[in-house]
Structure 1
Amino acid sequence: MYEKQPKDSWAIRFAQFVERFGTIKLSFLFVFGSLVFTIGGSYIIRISLDSNIEPDDFISAIILTMLSAPWVLYFFSELVKHLEHSRNDLQDLVEQMEKLREEDVFLNRELQHNIRQLNHEIEQRKAAQLERESVFVELEKEIKEKSEQEIQARRISTLLRSIIDASPDLIYYRNEEGRFAGCNRVAEQLTGKTQEELLGLTPHDVYEEDLAKQVVASDHEVLESNASITEELWLRFADGRRRYFEMRKVPFFDNDGNRLGLLAFGRDMTERKQAESAAAKASNDKTRFIATISHELRTPLNGIVGLSRMLRDTELTKEQFNWVSTIYASAITLGNIFNDIIDLDRLDRDKLELSLKTVSLNEFTDELASIIRLLAADKGLEFNWTINEPLPTLVEVDGTRLRQVLWNILFNAVKFTPRGQVSLSVSATKPENGVSLVKFVVEDSGVGIPQDELDKIFAMYYQVDHPDHQTATGTGIGLAICKQMVDLMKGQISVQSQVGKGSRFEIQLPVAISTQPVQLESLQVDNLDILLVEDIELNVMVAKALLEKLGQRVDVAMTGQEAIDKVRSHTYDLILLDIQLPDMNGFEVAKTLHEEDLVIQTPIVALTANVIKKREEYLQNGMDDIIAKPIKKSRVIEVFNELFTQTPASPAVEQQELVPAAKDLGNVLDLELLQMLVDTIGEDMVRTSVKVFQEKMPEYMEILQLSLSADEKSEVCSQAHKIKGAAGSVGLARVQRIANQIQQGDHPAWWQNVHDWVEELQMAVQKDMTMLTDWLSEQTVED
C-alpha cells in the first residue's frame, strides 16, 4: 500500500540550500546581508529616534557586524554541517527506516496474506467442521430413520404376516424356477408343511401328480404370457379334506421391472360350489316336482277329459250335452294352463324345443274353434271364426305349441270380454320357395288395454293394472310364453287395443308346405293284444275304455314287477307303460324287458303325464314312442298307425296274473348275514361294528358330496365303493345296493341319476340305521 512521505523540516531544507548554494557564496552573502541589515537597522533606528545620522553610527555598525559576522557565520556553518550530518544520518536512518518499513510492509503484507489464508483455512475448517457436524447429524438422523424404518418394516412385516396368516385365502409365491419361496398358514395347512419346509420345493414335491401337472401348466402359462390367470380346482388338505379353490395367479416384479416369479391367491369356494350344486339339484328337484305335479294333476284331468269326451259320444239331452261340453272345455282349459307352467320351467332350463309335424290348417282351426266356442257360450259371447282361402292344405308346424299360443290369446279374449263377441281369422300368403306366411288374427270387443301398457303385456308375470280388469285375474305368464314360443317359431306377434273397445292380436308365422301326407284320422289296426301298465284305477278305466272302443284287447298290470312277470309268460303286440309306478319306474321296467329279450318284436310306448322330459330321453331309455296324458284319441290313432300300419297284429293268448312280491325287512337289511354275524362274533361285536359305521358315515357322505360337487366321477365311484363295502359289513342291504348303483360310473345315465342316488343314499342311511338298531334290540329281547 502507498504511504504519503512526511515533509522535511526547515532546518533540513536550509542545510540542503546551503549545501547546494555553497558555503563561501553564502558567507559573503551573509556578511553582505548582515552589513545591509546593520546599516539599514541603524538608519531606521536613528530616523525613528529623530536623531541625526552620523557616519560613525554606520562605521560602528559595520565594524560590529564584521566582528560578529564571522562568528555567526562560523556558528551557522557548524550548525549547517551538523545539520547536514544530522540530515545525512537522518537520511540514512530514514532509508533504513524506509527499508525497515518496506520490509515491515512486506512482512505485514505477508502476515496479512497468511492471516487471510489462515482465516480462510479457519473458515474452511469451520465450514468443514460444520459440514462434518451436519453430515454426522444427517448420518445420525439417517441411522435413526433407518433404525425406525427397520423397526417399522419388521412391525409391518409381522403385521403383514399376521394378516396373511389370518386370511382364510390360500396365498403362496414361487420363484422363476417354480420353487416355493413363501406361503401363509392356509398353505401350510394344505400341504402339511411349514413355510421353512416348503422353501425350495416344487409342486411335484407337494401335490399329487395329476394336480401338480395342472398347477405347473398354469404356472407356465402365467410366466410365458406375463399375464394373470384364474383357474378353479379341487385341492386336498393334508388331513384328507377336499376343498374347492378359485386360484388367481399373477407375475410379480421388483422395482427395476425384473420378474421374480408368480404370486397365487386361492379363495375357498367350496360353499359356493356346493351352493351351485344345490341350485342345480334344486332346479332338478323343481323339474321333478313339476313332473310329479304333472303326473298327479293330469291323472284326474285324464279322467275328466276322457270320460267327458266319451259322455259326449253317448245319447244325451241338449242340457246334458251342454253340461258335459262345459266340463270338457274346462278340462281342456286346465290342461292348457298347466302346459304354460310346464313351458315356463322349460324356458328356465332352455329346453323348450319345437316338434314339427304335418298339420291341416283347416282341421286345426276347426278343432280349436270348437272348444273356444264352448267357453264363449258359457259367458253368453258370440264366437266367429273365418278361414280365408286359399290356405295351404298341409304345413309343417308344431301343432301343440301353436295351439297353446292361440289358446292363450283366445282364452284371454273370452276372459276379458264381458259382452259382445270374439273372432278368429286365418289367412296365408302364396307359397314362395315352399314357405307360406300364415296369419292368425284374434279380435274381441272387451275392456281393452291402455296404450301405455301395450309394450309391457308380453313381459313375464306382468298384469295390466286397470279397474275394468280386476274381475279377471291370472298369473301373467301366458302372453310371455306366447311371445317366446312365437319367437322360437321365427314368427311375430303384435297387439293393437283401445280401452273400452277391445283388442286385436296378430300372429304371423312362416311355415313350410308339407310334402308328407297327414296322419290318417281312422285307426288302421285293431284286435291288438295290449298290456296296459298303470297303477291308478281312474286312468286304467279311461284308457281301457278308449282302447277297447278302438277295437283292441287290453290286459292290465298295476306294478312294474307284475308287468315284467306278465311279459315273461305272454307275448303282447304292444306295451303301454306308465313311468311312475309304485315299485319301480317305467325306465327300469323297459331296461329289464330289453335285457331279457322279451320285447324284440313288441313296441313299448311310454304312457306318461311327465311332459318335462324330451322325447329323446324316452327313446334313449328303451321306449319306441310316447303318449302324453290326458290321453287323446287322435294321439293314440297316430301312434298306433305309425307302429302297426305295416305290422300285422299277433293272435291273442290267455293272460296270467301274478301277485307282486311284497316288501319286507329283507329288502332293507341282509338278515341272513346279520344273523350269521350275531351267531359267529356275537351281538356286542356287531353293535360295535355298527357304531363305528355310524360314526364314519358322516365323513364318508361329506367326501361323497364334495366329490360330486367337484364333478369328479372317479372319486365319487371310489367313495361309493367304500360306503358299499362298509354297509355290506354291517348288513345294510339297501344302502349297499344304492352305493353299488353310484359306484357304477359306466351307467349310460349315471350323471342324470347320481344326484338322486346320493340323496336316496343319505335318506336310506338314516332310516335303515334305525331299522338295524331296532332289529338288534329285538335280538337282545329274544335272547
Structure 2
Amino acid sequence: MLAKATKLLLVEDDEDDYILTRDYLEQLSSHVFDIDWISSPEQAIHVLSKNEHDICLLDYRLGASDGLSVLKQAIKNGFCGPIIMLTGQSNDALDSAALDAGAVDYLVKSEMSGSRFARSIRYALARRDVEDERVERLKAEAENRSKDRFLAHLSHELRTPLSSILGYTELLMLSDFNKQAENELGVIYRNGKHLLSLLNDVLDLSKIAVDKLELSLGEVNLDSLMADVFTLMRVSALDKGLSLKFESLEPLPLVIRVDATRVRQILINLINNAIKFTEQGEIVVNAWTEVVNEREMLFFSIKDSGLGIAPEKQALIFKPFEQIADVESRSVGGAGLGLAICSELLSRMQGDISLDSHVGKGSTFTISLYPGDIRQVERNLLKLDLTPNMQQKVAPCQVSGKVLVVDDLRDLRVLVGHLIGSAGAAVDYADNGKQALEKVKKQLADGHTTYDIIFLDIHMPVMGGKEAAIELRKLGFKGAIIALTAATMKGIHSELNALGFDDMIAKPVDSNLLYQCLELRLGQKEQPTSSIQPMPKPSRDKKCFLLVEDDADAAQITQLLLESLDVDTDIATSVKDCKAVLEHNSNYDKVLLDMHLPDGSGLELAGFIKQHYPNIKRVIISGMEPDAVHIRQLKIEQVLLKPINLALLNQLV
C-alpha cells in the first residue's frame, strides 16, 4: 500500500531555486511529496489561509516583499502546519526573527543538499503529527466532558419530574381515591416506571462506554431479592394471563455478596422480555450453584414458552440498539439496550449470559455471576415471602361546610382538596392570595355565606399567605384561617396568630392533623370560631428531616412521602436557606441534600454540615450518580438516586 503523499507548498519567486528544491525533495526517500509552487506573496497568503497543506517552504526574499510578513499573516489567518524559512545566506538575526514569527526552522539554500535539510523536513512533519494527535486528543476529551455534562443534566432534568409523577401516583394508589381510578392510576404508574427504565438504560450504556460504571457490592439476602423481583414481575405476567414460577433446584445460599440493584435489574430485564414475547403459557425462573474454574458461581435461567428467536438474530440481540422483532412485526417497546447492558453488567460480575432458543418453541436465557465466597454460607430452599404490606387511608370523620384551599402548587391544592372532600366538605380552590380575596369579596358583595375555613399557603406569587390573611381580616372574614407552611421554626405560631391566622399545619400535610382540624372546626359549627383552641401540635418525638431541594414539585412529593412514614420534614430551597434553618434549629436527624442547588453544590453543603453540625446524618439525593471519590472523601452516609419512591424512603427512615 502506497504511503499518503505529503502536501507541500513551496513559496519561491526564483524558478531555478524551485527546480533545485523540488529535486532535493524527490531525493528524500522517507516521504512522498505533492508539491504546489507559488511565486507571489499575495497568492501565498491566500493559499496558506485555506490550511490545506501539510508543510510550507517559504523563501525569505519574494521580490520586493519580505517572507516574514507572509509568515505572520498566514499564521494569523489560521495556517496550522509547520513553515520552514529559506534564505540565500546565513544570518543569525534573520534566523531569530523567523523563529520568533512562528517558523519551525530556518535553512540556508546552500544546505538543502545535505542531511540537515532532510532532518529539518522530518522533524517538522513529526512535530506536526504530534500536534495533530494532541489536538485530536483534546477535542475527544472535550467532547467526552461535554457528553458527560449533557447526560448528567439530562438525568437530573428527567428524574426530577419523574419523582413527582411516580410519587403522587403512589400516594393516590395507597389512598381511598384508588377505588375510583385504580386502572388509570396503574397505567400512569407503569408508564412512569417504563420511562424511568428507558432513562436508566441510556445512562447505563453511556457509563459503560466510558468505563465509568461502578458496582456497589454488599451482603444481600437472596430470598428477599428474589421475592422482590417475583412480586414486581408477577403483576406483569398476570396482566397477560401468563404463569410466572420461581424455582430453586437445590438449597441456595441465604446471603450473597453482589450489587443487589444490578442483579435485580438484570433479572427484571430478562423476565420482562420473556413476558413481552410470550402470548400464552408460562415463564419459569430457576436458580442453582455450580463450580466453574474452581469457583462456585450462582446461575439463573429464565425460560419462556414464547415465539423464540431466529438463529440469525441471536447474535445481534446482545448489541446495543438491536430490538427483537417477531415474524408478525408485532410492535414491541423499548430502546433495544436491555440485553446489551445485561451482558456488560454480568461481565463486570465475573459472569456471562447465553441463549438457547427455537422459533415457535420459546427461549431460555442462562446467566451466571460470582456471588462472593459462599462455601461457608448457610443454605436453604427459596421461600419467597410475598406477604403484601399495603394500607389504604380512609377519612376518619364526616363533616359539612365550605372550605377554600389556596396554594400556588396545583398538585398540593388537589391533594389537600381531595382529603377535605373525602371527609364530606365542599372544596373550592385559589392559586394565590389575591384570588382568595376576590372570591371572598364576591361572596360578601352577593350576601352569600363565606367559607368556614380557608387554608392558606404562606409562600405564593402575586400575594403571599401572610398579606392575604391581613387583608381577609380587614374585609371582615370571620371564618378560620389555617396556614399551610413548611416553616416550623421557633416563633412562627406567635407571628401567624398576630397576623390573623387561627392555627397552622406544617407541610407536608399530615392527613390525620387535617382531619382533626376539619372535625374540630366543622363538626361543632355552633361554637364560635374564636373559642376553638388550636389543634394539638405533632409530637416532637418523631424523626425530623430537613430536605434541601429547589424544585418545588420534587420537594413537595418527597415531603408527603416522608410524612406518610411519620417523619416531620422541613424544606429549604437553597444553600443559603439551609444554613439559615440550621442556624435557628439544628435538631434534625438527617439532612437530605439535592446535588444541584441554585446558589451552590449539595456536596459542598454536605461538607459544611459535617464541619458545623457533625451529629446530623447527610443524605445526597441526586438525578445522577455522584462521583464515588467525592462521596467517600466527604464521608456521606447515604446516596439516593431520583426518582424517590416510598420504598427508598422507607429504607432511609
1:534 corresponds to: 549
Q: What's 1:616 paired with?
A: 629
Contact persistence 1:604–1:625 (CA under 8 A)? yes
2:559 corresponding residue in structure 1: 544
Equivalent residues in 2 for 1:137-286 (5 A)? 154-157=17-20, 163=36, 168-169=53-54, 195-196=86-87, 199=90, 238=100, 262-263=120-121, 264-266=123-125, 267=128, 277-286=138-147
SS state of the match for residue 490, structure 1?
A: coil
1:409 maps to which residue? 270
Structure 1 pair 310/360, CA: closer, same or farther in 2 (3 Å)? farther
Instruction: Name the amino acid aligned to 1:537.
Output: A
Contact 1:171/1:186 (<8 A) preserved? no
- Stretches of structure 2 that go unaligned for 5 or more consecutive residues are 1-13, 26-34, 39-43, 59-66, 76-81, 106-110, 379-388, 390-539
* 1:352-405 deviation per Cα after TM superposition (whole angstroms, max 9, x unaligned): 121111111111111111111111222232222223441101101111111222
Contact 1:392–1:513 (CA<8 Å) still a contact in 2? no
Tell me the SS of whatever aligns to 1:355. coil
Asked if 1:448 is matched to 2:464, the reply is: no
What residue number does 1:510 align with? 370
Q: What corresponds to 2:217 in structure 1?
A: 356
DSSP 3-state at the match of 1:511:
coil
Separation of aligned partners in 1, 2:310 and 2:182: 39
State the Cα distance separating 1:472 from its structure 2 match: 1.6
Residues 585-594 or 293-302, more deviating: 585-594
Q: Within 2, Cα distance between the matches of 1:193 and 1:383?
A: 76
Q: Which residue of 2 aligns with 1:467?
A: 327
- 2:605 matches 1:589: yes
Question: TM-score scaled by structure 2?
Answer: 0.56
Letter aligned with residue 600 of structure 1: P
Are residues 1:576 and 2:592 paired?
A: yes
Q: Residue 331 of structure 2 aligns to a residue in which SS?
A: coil
Shift of 1:311: 4.5
The residue aligned with 1:303 is 164
Secondary structure at the counterpart of residue 303 of structure 2: strand
Whether the 8 Å CA contact 1:169–1:265 is kept in 2: the answer is: no
User: In structure 2, how many angstroms separate the alpha carbons of the residues matched to 1:575 and 1:154?
Assistant: 79
Partner Cα distance (2:327, 2:246) in 1: 30
- Residue identity matched to 2:208: L
Aligned residue type for 1:598: H
SS in structure 2 opposite 1:406? helix
2:296 partner amino acid: S
Counterpart residue identity of residue 349, structure 1: V
Report the residue type matching 1:396 in the other structure: R
Identify which range, 340-349 or 163-172, moves more after superposition. 163-172
The CA deviation at 1:486 is 1.1
Task: Give the equivalent residue in structure 1 for 2:507.
Answer: none
Match of 1:603 in 2: 617
Distance 2:566 2:90 in 1: 84
* Residue 458 (structure 1) aligns with: 318
Instruction: Using CA pairs under 8 Å that are at least 6 residues apart, name the structure with larger relative contact order, 1 or 2.
Output: 2
1:128-139 to 2 correspondence within 5 Å? none
Distance 1:389 1:365 in 2: 15
* Cα gap change, 1:564 to 1:164, in 2 (>3 Å): farther
- Superimposed CA distance per residue, residues 494-542 of structure 1 (whole angstroms, 9 cap, x where no aligned partner): 111111221111111121147999xxxx9xx983332101123332233
Secondary structure of residue in 2 paired with 1:297: helix
Q: Which residue, 595, 605, 630 being the options, matches 2:643?
A: 630
| Aligned counterpart, 1:342 | 203
Report deviation, 1:171. 6.3
- Displacement of 1:425 in angstroms is 2.1
**Structure 1 gap ranges (5+):** 1-150, 174-181, 208-235, 248-252, 641-783
Give the C-alpha shift of residue 412 in structure 1: 1.4
- Work out the CA distance in 2 between the residues paired with 1:324 and 1:292: 29
Partner of 2:241: 380
CA, structure 1 residues 526+185, in 2 after alignment: closer, same or farther (shift >3 Å)? farther
Instruction: Kindly indicate whether the alpha-carbon contact (under 8 Å) linking 1:329 and 1:375 is maintained by their aligned counterparts in 2.
Output: no
Give the alignment partner of residue 481 of structure 1, picking from 341, 347, 350.
341
Q: In terms of mean alpha carbon deviation, does 189-198 or 385-394 score higher?
A: 189-198
**How many Å separate the matches in 2 of 1:625 and 1:373?**
31
Q: The residue matched to 1:395 in structure 2 has which SS?
A: strand
Amino acid paired to 2:19: I
CA distance, structure 2, for counterparts of residue 152 and residue 294 of structure 1: 64
Q: What letter matches 2:585 in structure 1?
A: H
**Are the counterparts in 2 of residues 172 and 265 from structure 1 also a CA contact under 8 Å?**
no
- Residues 163 and 598 of structure 1: CA distance in aligned 2, closer, same or farther (over 3 Å): same
8 Å CA contact 1:192, 1:238 repeated in 2: no
Q: In the alignment, which residue of structure 2 is the partner of 1:732?
A: none
Structure 1 CA distance for aligned equivalents of residues 115 and 549 of structure 2? 76
1:96-141, Cα deviation, whole Å (9 max, x unpaired): xxxxxxxxxxxxxxxxxxxxxxxxxxxxxxxxxxxxxxxxxxxxxx
Q: Are 1:188 and 1:195, in contact at CA under 8 Å, matched by a contact in 2? A: no
The residue identity in structure 1 corresponding to 2:271 is L
**Superimposed CA distance per residue, residues 399-425 of structure 1 (whole angstroms, 9 cap, x where no aligned partner):** 111122222211111111223322222
Alpha-carbon offset, residue 462 of structure 1: 1.9
- Output the CA distance in 2 between the equivalents of 1:155 and 1:254: 12
Instruction: Measure, in 2, the Cα distance between the counterparts of 1:598 and 1:516.
Output: 43
Q: Measure how far apart 1:316 and its partner are.
A: 7.7
After TM superposition, give the deviation of residue 334 of structure 1 in Å.
3.0
8 Å Cα contact 1:188/1:194 also seen in 2:
no
Inter-partner Cα distance in structure 2 for 1:198 and 1:554: 84
Deviations 1:158-197 (A, max 9, x none): 6679958867545689xxxxxxxx9997599889996559
Matches of 1:326 and 1:334 in 2, distance apart?
12
Q: Mapping of 1:671-690 within 5 angstroms?
A: none
1:357–1:398 Cα contact (<8 Å) kept: yes
Kept after mapping to 2: 8 A contact 1:579/1:606 = yes
Identity %: 28
Q: How many Å separate the matches in 2 of 1:462 and 1:349? A: 20
Which of 140, 144, 151 in structure 2 is aligned with 1:290? 151
1:457–1:479 Cα contact (<8 Å) kept: yes
Provide, for residues 229-268 of structure 1, a one-character-per-residue CA deviation record: whole Å limited to 9, x for no partner.
xxxxxxx9846x9x9x9x9xxxxx9999999855422438
Q: Describe how 1:88-103 pairs up with structure 2 within 5 A.
A: none
- The answer on whether the counterparts of 1:183 and 1:195 sit within 8 Å (CA) in structure 2 is no
Q: Matches of 2:175 and 2:74 in 1, distance apart?
A: 80
- Say if 1:394 and 1:448 are closer, same or farther in 2 by CA, change over 3 A: same
**One-letter amino acid of the structure 2 residue matched with residue 489 of structure 1:** M
Mapped partners of 2:577, 2:281: distance in 1: 56
How far residue 318 of structure 1 moved from its aligned partner, in angstroms, is: 7.7
**Alignment check: 8 A CA contact 1:587 1:622 kept:** no
CA deviation after TM superposition for structure 1 residue 491, in Å: 0.7
Between the aligned partners of 1:408 and 1:198, the Cα distance in structure 2 is 76
Say whether the 8 Å CA contact 1:184–1:195 is kept in structure 2.
no
- Partner SS state of residue 368, structure 2: strand
For the aligned residue pairs, the C-alpha RMSD in angstroms reads: 4.6
CA 1:200–1:420: 2 relative to 1, 3 Å: farther
Whole-Å separation in 1 of the counterparts to 2:22 and 2:116: 27
2:255 corresponds to which residue?
394
The alpha-carbon distance between structure 1 residues 447 and 526, as it changes in their structure 2 partners (threshold 3 A), is farther
Counterpart CA distance in 1 for 2:644 and 2:549 is 13
How far did 1:454 drift? Answer: 1.2
Aligned to 1:425: 286
1:132 is matched with which residue? Answer: none
